[in-house]
Structure 1
Amino acid sequence: METFSEVEFAGLERMRRRYQAGEWRSPRDGCSLVERLGIKMTARALGVGHGGAIHYACHLRRTNAEGVFSLSARFQVLPINPAPPDTEEVLRWLAGCVATATHTADLSHWGMLCGITPEGRVATRPYRGLVHEAPNLEEFATSLKRRAIALRSFLGEPAFAELMQEVGVS
């Protein structure tokens, strides 16, 4: 099994520390993107998956003058941190997927984290984050591109750009 390089691992550690310190919050008028857009989310437990991870169906919804927008994603949480995901956490993970798909030519490391290789699915350690159900790396890349389009459509261009900036992509 391939692992992250020291540089990649250090970058992930920096991102984790920034997330834990709350540095990914929107600086705009003291309100988060979720609050400003009025995004609501329901998270329905689906059951227990590999490694005891609890899977949730997350349905995000927002309404404005242009209509009603919705987006769905599957999310898993670990037994050691079983709290259901919140709206901002799901959006950050979605933004991370978009950033990865946009700025990474080789998705093999990201796929491996999710248990996806060019040959197919493999068992990996469970993690707290989005569930990717692609059967192989090619389908994984396609699903990330679809997710990017869906997220941009759900948020609208200005909010999408702001969210991407929050996760370090300008």
Structure 2
Amino acid sequence: MGRLTGRTVAFLTSDKGIEEPELTTPWQAVVEAGGTAVLVSAQPGTVRAVNNDLDPAGEYPVDRTLDQVSADDVDALVIPGGTVNADTLRTQEAARALVTAVLGAGKPVAAICHAPWTLIEAGVVDGVTLTSYPSLATDLRNAGANWVDREVVVSDVAGATLITSRNPDDLPAFSGALVDAVAG
């Protein structure tokens, strides 16, 4: 049995512009640790990934739509980056609500690269130390966060774990922190 056997980790995406390694690498880490990974998006069907925000990459099937999942259904939430993905998610009320519900339930949330835009819009960064793609530093500071330039930052948000990383280069540390947090 793996460290995450019996645990479900939701990966929250829009329908396009997801940075492929930021979806697939932590997904693989969850599965290899014995967990169940599920892809959650606003619409059914498939989502389209990219590499370096521009180059088309794979398509991935949606397991559940946002209206089919709640904080009770998952043990953690991962928000991959990708500029378009993050910009779309932050405008979706149901996506923001899922983030706040998962954190409110004391469960880990992990966001990489541009994904902290969604955290800002969900109103969960004030007073929290975190990292992101460097271009978000001013946005995060303006929202009350303490932005730092590190490969991974693990912070407490009202008793829940918030994990953030800067970019795909940080995926080993990000994925490791995710598995550790979900394993407890």
Instruction: Report the structure, 1 or 2, having the larger strand content.
Output: 2
TM-score by length of 2: 0.26
Larger Rg: 1
Write 1 or 2 for the structure with the bigger share of helix.
Answer: 1
